Each structure stands twice: as structure tokens, then as C-alpha cells.
Structure 1
Amino acid sequence: MTFGLAPSATASTSRPLIPAGASDRLARMLAPAQWAAAGIPLLRDPREVVTALHALHRPTASTAVVAVLDRDERVCASASFARGTASADGWVHRNALLAQLRRVVPHDLRRRSPTRTAVLLHCRDGEGRWTEEDGAWMWGLRDACTLHGLRCGAYITLTDAGWQVLGEDRSGRRPRVGPASSAQVDEDSWELPAARGTVRAG
């Protein structure tokens, strides 16, 4: 037999119910202020990076493109993939990004400090301003970079209005995202010959 006080009706209705796992999910998300405080390095020429990735992958609104930049901020490897179902859990995005990074570049975990930088081009409908899903992608990018020995770089949204580097006041009208295709987006990867001795696509 157990004894205890049953919760009152007023107590149960005055407190908001938090779904199971919601606090963990919120912990795997970065707000713009947190992203800015993380010391993410600024791109010297974000337009050049966005233009290069757009030319390589021709992304639609259902695509994400993760790219690795060398010391001179040239794209040395990149991968585009279907974003899948919208999610505000950074863990989901971290795993997706890590899988793509492992496809295109070896890890740099043996180095004392990262020499290459990973950036993410998140292509979607709507406005370019921050959403909870963006916060989850930011968390995922930062964590994937840590696990792969890379420096975490810029997070860029690409919509039909143009591109925007979140956390910075830099944007442009071109290039823009292409219309979402009804067909499933194929995974596509690209790398310089110096990266692994081959160039792959498709």
C-alpha cells in the first residue's frame, strides 16, 4: 500500500504540459544569439561560396548542401541530399550531415586544430529568416564538425528570394533556389582531385 497526495485539478491545469523528449530536443537547437556567441568564422566572400555550390548542385527547395572549404575558402568537397521531413531536432540533422561528410572527405581528428571548414546551404521555401528548424540544423552542423575534426562555418539559407547568412547581415538576391521537384532528390557529391584522387558526381 502506498500513500501520497493526489495532484489537485488546479495544479495540473496551471502548469504547461511538456511532451516527453521536448526538453532534449530544445537543447539540440541553437538560437541566433547562441550561434553568434559561438565565434563562427565569417566568410570573406559568401556570394562566391553560394554561387559555386549552386552551380555544382543546382539545389531545389527540398535540398541541403554541405561543403568543405580549404584554408583559402575554396570548395574542396561537397554533397547535396534530400532534407527529408522537416525536423526541429538537431540530432537528426547531425547524423545526416555526418554521413555526408564521411562520404566526401576523410576526418581531421588527428590534427591539433581544424584546417578545413564546413558550411551548410539549407535550401527551403519561405523567408530566409531564422526558424526552429534552422536552429536544429545549426546545432547539427556544429556537432558534426566536432565529430569530423572540422571547423564549423557559416549557415546559409537559400530561398526563392535569394541567400542569407544567418547570424550576419549579409545576403543577396542571386542565386536563388530552384522550384521543388516532385521527384526524390538524389544524393550528389563532388570533390577536388586532390581530395581523394577522383572527382565524383551522382
Structure 2
Amino acid sequence: MTFGFAPSAATSITTSAGSANRLARMLEPAEWASAGIPLLRNPREVVSGLHTRHAPAPATAVVAVLDHEDRLAASASFSRRSTPVDGWEFRNVLLAHLRRVIPHDLRLRAPVRTAVLLYCREGDERWTEEDGAWMWGLRDACTLHGLRCGAYITLTRGGWQVLGEGRGGRRPNSTSSPGPFLDGAAEAELQPLRTASGAAEALRRTAAR
């Protein structure tokens, strides 16, 4: 005869509540498309520029701030932790990196600059719950930093895609090599960046203003 302990009702309720909260902190494609996200004037140029500067590998996020003419004002890249998908966690890490590379615009009556997020991941271009959590996190981080919430872009083996817009391309992709700088901006410098796990990694980051 074996003895064990069945999970208590309180534990089950707590687990269910936690799962429900995580699901609430994500946006589905229809919600994102109806949120009034501003369109990028030249998404291929933005994607190519961020890919050149940061050379993201799978599970790497690149958050960038664009000025009123869609020119890059600042950007930062970081590796995602192996934690449950939760928009609240994603919001916190995005906000932390935004604060490192550019001052907030909370004193302005209306946002002038726009934050976009490029996420390199495995899989295809179809929306996932992880994408939904990143969308929620980006929108909330923008509100807390005084920015407009901009495009969410996935980078996979098949290419890149601006979710909610239907615009995309085959290159760059998660396996392609970074191309040359075409806009004359200063090249991203290689700097030690402390990841969420606490280990220092050399990741490409630029904060051109």
C-alpha cells in the first residue's frame, strides 16, 4: 500500500488563479490589430537595421525606440529567461532596458517617440501565447515610459513578420548573417550586458540619440 498527499483545494485554486492571470496578461492578434498600433513606414528597413546591430539569435528580444520620423533613437537586446510565459514579467524586463537606453517622455502631453519590439524565436510565423505576452508587455512598458506602443515583429527561420499587419519578408531571418550598415549611423558597440540570469554576456547594443 502506498501513501501520498493529494493536492489541496487551496493549492488547486491558487494554481488556477495564477494560470488565469497569465492568460489575462496577453493580447490576441485581433486585440492587437484593433489597438491602433501605428504602422511602420518602412518595416524592412527597421528590421534590417536592428538585425545588423544586434544579430539576434532565437530567444533574443530587441526593443527599439523610434523618433517621429521612424529613425532609430535607441535600442537594446537581451536574452529571454526560461520562465513561464507572463506578460507582467516581459513588461518588467522591457521597461528596465528602456530605462537604460533612453529617458522617459512622461512629461509630454502626448507620446512623440514609439517603441517597437523584435523577437527572434523558433517556430513559424503563426501567433503563439508567448507572442501575446510580449505584446501585452510592450504595450504596458510603453505606457509606463511615456512612449507610443509600436509594432511587434517576429524573426524566425522563415523570415520576419509584423504581427497584426500581414507585412513580412524572407530576409533577414533567424539564420541569416547581419548585413552592412546602410544608414550611416554609428555602429553598435560590443558591451557587456547583464542578463536576467545574472551572467554577463557580450551582446550588441546601441543607444544612438
When normalised by structure 1's length, the TM-score is 0.82
Counterpart-to-counterpart distance in 2, 1:153 and 1:129? 19
Decide whether aligned partners of structure 1 residues 147 and 34 sit closer, same or farther in structure 2, where only a CA change above 3 A counts: same
Any residues of structure 2 matched to 1:1-202 within 5 Å, and which? 19-85=16-82, 87-178=84-175, 186-192=202-208, 195=209
Identical-residue share of aligned pairs (%): 66
Q: AA paired with 1:49?
A: V
What is the SS of the residue equivalent to 2:47? helix
Structure 2 stretches lacking a partner, 5+ long: 1-8, 177-198
Count, aligned residues: 176
Cα pair distance change 1:156/1:185, threshold 3 Å: farther
**Unaligned segments of structure 1, at least 5 residues:** 1-11, 196-202
1:113 and 1:187 mapped to 2: Cα distance?
A: 33
Tell whether the 8 Å contact from 1:29 to 1:88 is kept in structure 2 after alignment.
no
Contact in 1 for aligned 2:68/2:112 (Cα 8 Å): yes
Q: Distance in 2 between matches of 1:55 and 1:28?
A: 31
- TM-superposed CA distance for 1:26, in Å, is 1.3
Secondary structure, aligned partner of 1:137: helix
Indicate conservation of the 8 Å contact 2:22/2:87, yes or no: yes
Post-superposition shift, 1:86?
Answer: 5.2
- Kept in 2, the 8 Å contact 1:109–1:149? The answer is yes
Deviation at 1:87, TM superposition (A): 3.3
RMSD of the TM alignment (CA)? 2.1
Tell me by how many angstroms 1:62 deviates: 2.2
How big is each residue's C-alpha offset from its partner over 1:56-103, in whole Å with a ceiling of 9 and x where there is no partner?
011111210000001110111000000121532100100010001001
Q: Which has the larger radius of gyration?
A: 1
Q: 1:174 corresponds to which letter in structure 2?
A: R
What TM-score does the superposition give when structure 2 sets the normalisation length?
0.79
Q: Which residue does 2:196 correspond to in 1?
A: none
